[in-house]
Amino acid sequence: MRLNILIGGKAGQGINKVSEIISNTLTRYGYFVFNYRDYPSLIRGGHNFNILSASEEKIESHDNKIDFLITLDEETEKIHLKELKKECQILSYKEFENEGRNLNIALAGALIKTLGIPIEELENEIKREFPDKPEPLSSAQKGYNSKKAVSNLKKIEKKIWIMDGSKAIAKGAINSNLDVYIAYPMTPATNTMHEIAKNQLKNKLMVLQAENEIAVANMALGASFTGAKTMVGTSGGGFDLMTEAISFQGISGIPLTIYLASRPGPGTGVPTYSAQEDLDIALRGGHGEFPRVVVAPSNPLEAIEKTNEALYLAEEFKTISIILSDKHLAESEFSTNEKIKKPSKIKISRALPGEKIIRASSYEINKELTTTESPEIVKQNADARTQKYEKIKKFIEKKFEMIKIYGNKKSDNLIIGWGSTSGAIKDAIKGLDCKFLQVLYIKPLSKQIKKEMSKAKNIILVEQNVTGQLGRLLREKTGISVPRKKRILKYDGKPFTRDELNEEIRKKLK
Amino acid sequence: MNEKTKQNLSTNAPITWCPGCTNFMILEAVKQTLTNFIDSKKFKQTDFAIATDIGCHAKIFDYLNISGLNCLHGRALPTAIGMKIGNPNLKILTFAGDGAVYSEGIEHLVHAFRYNSDLTLILHDNQSFSLTTGQPAPTTQQGYISKSEPLGVFDKPFNPLKIALASGATFVARTSARDIPHMVEIFTKAINHKGFSFVEVIQDCLIFNTEANNKEKFMYKISDCHNKQRAEKLADEFDYNSKEGKIPIGVIYQVMEPALEEKWPQLKELLENKKNWKSK
């Protein structure tokens, strides 16, 4: 079973509230949900919509074809007409116009009844959301009572939690006892900043908004140098501004973790939509040659765990860790019943300024920690950086999960993907004869990837960018190229949907 | 080595400033200031940390045996603020040039006044980019001919002291690189100021933009000023462009306002308990 519910209206009409009530009610009822948010870059008006998918199996994607349409305005039905299944049920704002501000809650109530979920489940959720207000409850009940049940969902006993990627990155950082988070607002990275900032005093950390990303990255290096576990967050444009400081990290060896949530296009691009176009800059941003770690979680559980690993590696190896995400991971809500792995404890064992004389530099320096131009030392320092990367690589290979494999492990059809695209791939290959290799660590790359690629008879690359950036990297590292006709690349700002991707993959299977 | 300075404040690095450069005098004044603080037992040598920018001035990183970071060009200020956030108990001196702070990193200067982090910026102003061979900086006088602007500088220099006052500075001072006792006096006051202290050191470059040199004859010492209107008048007396008028040196303006480390409860706690994040 899989239900796809589209909720649409204008910004400010409470679309996310409808999704939240339905998601919470469904997950407490034992169903997994996935909530995709689609909105333009404006504050009031326009057309926003969410696609909320629900299933008794774990899902990490939404569909293109809709079973239930909830409209909060006139436009929604017109805009999405083509996506509606024949048997699609429409719940319209017109039926509840007397509910005023609680229109959205009445519509949520109507849908819960349509799905055949008992009224107590809805009432409990509304009471949790609005403990002291009678109006939302009454609107929810009115909505509920106005409909007939068309399905009959049975309660399942499961403990399911919901989270979006932004909150997960924040949780991973807080679980790691982060001390300082510095950022400048930039969609889609900002929600992580908001989340960490919210309870900063309780969590004994500090969140500072600096004047720009250049200041952010340099301040972060300063704070890390004097002993704070420090992380920064940004999107592509802000990351570009940080790249000189990233290079400074490379030579100074001051630990730093960057959360990079990318968005589509060069320039300002399409700020509130999604793409995987910034893998190249994550791998190469910053002049000179120096080690780094790039890790790309695909869902909140991985985001929590990989953020901890990134912070751990940064401190342990005095390196830079980049956590690569995008709008689709940052702002979609995922549900799971899996438990979070215990975080690695991050210890600052280096001596700090204040304790003894500690010096670092953006210049090459000698053993006396003063500037040098000696060719011998310049070479020694470069060799030391290369050796450091080898150590990082060995450590990750031994300790952390670098890839995941899903589907039919014996299949000759190998799909390769990474990051937020993984959710749609995992869901799209259900029932197909193929294996999915998800790349989690992109720098360093797992040796297993070459083995899998060599074994496969048919390799299909799925990425949300124009040039197949992971594919290019794999060709460089393994010598194996995925032919153009075997690449499924989407670059219109909209993430893959399960049903569309399923069709695309079928066409490329052997 | 002067008897007024501690021997172990020095490193073994060979000094590569031009012979006769006024940076030698700034270095000496810094060492004397630090020696006084260390001798007074108020602070240990390890309590100090420096953040240096990029340019001739930044070579001071190699000549001071103090904790510190030799930062990127234009970015010493935000890095220094970060160092203070990482450990508010450190006493931080930032060294930067007129090219670095007034040009490459001017945005950080304006915001540094807003944050009012408890650290000191010692700004070496020789009115040119010297390490890159004499291009004009934002405080270079009009008409100055260089390799990058052979037609002469068209634009008026700006007045950093006025920018400081307009940005809400809590400590603005000016001193002369040819006057070690005055530098020691001003650096000491700046370090003792609770908040962001901005000290502009007027210095000569013996190689580039030499026509801007020898301004001592226009300089006169003032008593510490705590009046904003008077400060604005004092800042107006020298326009960085002409060789006329007077150049007041001393504390141009000082006012007490909460520092960044007192405003943020997280940092205040570290400060009060003499802790860093590691021991939080």
Per residue in A28-63, pLDDT tens?
999 999 999 999 888 888 999 999 999 999 999 999
Alpha-carbon distance B54 to A218, whole Å? 14
Q: Among A370, A372, A373, A377, which would you mutate to test the B interface (most chain B Cβ atoms within 10 Å of its Cβ)?
A: A370
> A219, B45: Cβ pair inside 8 Å?
no
Alpha-carbon distance A173 to A304, whole Å? 8
The domain boundary residue, chosen from A356, A371, A399: A399
- CB-nearest to A223 from B49, B70, B83 is B83
Q: Which position has the token pair 């068309």?
A: A150
Co-location of A437 and A357 in the same domain: no
Co-location of A241 and A365 in the same domain: yes
- The long-range contacts involving B233-238, CB below 8 angstroms and separated by at least 24 positions, are B234/B161, B235/B159, B235/B161, B235/B162, B235/B164, B235/B165, B235/B172, B236/B159, B236/B162, B238/B159
Query: Which residues in chain B touch residue A215, judged by CB atoms under 8 angstroms apart?
Result: 75, 78, 107-108, 111
Element spanning B183, H or E = helix B180-192
Rg (CA), chain B: 18
SS3 A233: strand
pLDDT at position A41 is 86
Co-location of A395 and A408 in the same domain: no
Co-location of A135 and A68 in the same domain: yes
- CB-nearest to B86 from A201, A226, A244 is A226
Q: What percent of chain A has pLDDT over 90?
A: 97
How many independent structural domains does chain A possess? Answer: 3
- A85 — pLDDT class (breaks 50, 70, 90): very high
pLDDT at position B3 is 66
Cα angle for residues A295, A300, A306 (degrees, 5° grid): 30
Beta partners for residue A415, in sequence order: A436, A460
Element spanning A69, H or E = strand A66-71
Gap from A353 CA to chain B (nearest CA, Å): 6
Residues 52 to 71 of B: which have CB under 8 A from any A CB? 54, 59, 61-62, 65-71
Options 1.10.760.10, 3.30.479.30, 3.40.50.970, 2.40.50.140; which CATH number does B19-272 get? 3.40.50.970
pTM for the model: 0.97
Co-location of A345 and A213 in the same domain: yes
Co-location of A148 and A213 in the same domain: no
Residue A261 touches chain B, beta carbons under 8 Å:
no
Residue A408 touches chain B, beta carbons under 8 Å:
no
SS3 B28: helix
Query: Which residues in chain B touch residue A183, judged by CB atoms under 8 angstroms apart?
Result: none
Enumerate the domain spans of chain B: 19-272
- CB-nearest to B71 from A180, A218, A368 is A218
The domain boundary residue, chosen from A399, A433, A453: A399
Q: Among A359, A363, A366, A371, which would you mutate to test the B interface (most chain B Cβ atoms within 10 Å of its Cβ)?
A: A359
pLDDT tens figures, A421-441: 999 999 999 999 999 999 999
- CB-nearest to A368 from B11, B45, B81 is B11
Element spanning A136, H or E = helix A134-145
Give residue A282's domain range: 163-399
Q: What is the mean pLDDT of residues A261-285?
A: 97
Alpha-carbon distance A301 to A319, whole Å? 24
pLDDT at position B1 is 45
Co-location of A194 and A240 in the same domain: yes
Per-residue DSSP letter, B159? -
Residue A185 touches chain B, beta carbons under 8 Å:
no
Co-location of A54 and A103 in the same domain: yes
- Which runs of consecutive H residues, i.e. helices, occur in A146-211? 165-175, 190-198
Question: Is the pLDDT assigned to residue A137 strictly greater than 80?
Answer: yes
- Nearest to A292, CA basis, from A389, A362, A360, A386: A389
pLDDT at position B2 is 54
Residues 359 to 378 of A: which have CB under 8 A from any B CB? 359-363, 365, 368, 370-371
Q: Which residue of A has its CA nearest to B59?
A: A371
Mean pLDDT lowest among A11-20, A215-224, A422-431, A498-507: A11-20
Residue A183: give its domain's CATH number. 3.40.50.970
Question: Is the pLDDT assigned to residue A272 strictly greater than 50?
Answer: yes
Q: Which residue of B has its CA nearest to A211?
A: B111
Alpha-carbon distance A488 to A494, whole Å? 14
Q: What percent of chain B has pLDDT over 90?
A: 95
Co-location of A301 and A185 in the same domain: yes
The domain boundary residue, chosen from A158, A189, A217: A158
Residue A203 touches chain B, beta carbons under 8 Å:
no
- B245 — pLDDT class (breaks 50, 70, 90): confident
Q: What is the torsion angle, in degrees rounded to the nearest 10, for the CA atoms of residue A373, residue A376, residue A379 and residue A383?
A: -130
Does ipTM surpass 0.95 in this model? Answer: yes
Residue A65: give its domain's CATH number. 3.40.920.10
- CB-nearest to A225 from B47, B86, B267 is B86
Co-location of A143 and A201 in the same domain: no
Contacts of A309 (CB under 8 A, 6+ apart): A295, A321, A344, A400
Q: What is the mean pLDDT of residues A227-240?
A: 98
Cα angle for residues A259, A265, A267 (degrees, 5° grid): 85
Q: Which residue of A has its CA nearest to B104?
A: A214
> B69, A360: Cβ pair inside 8 Å?
yes
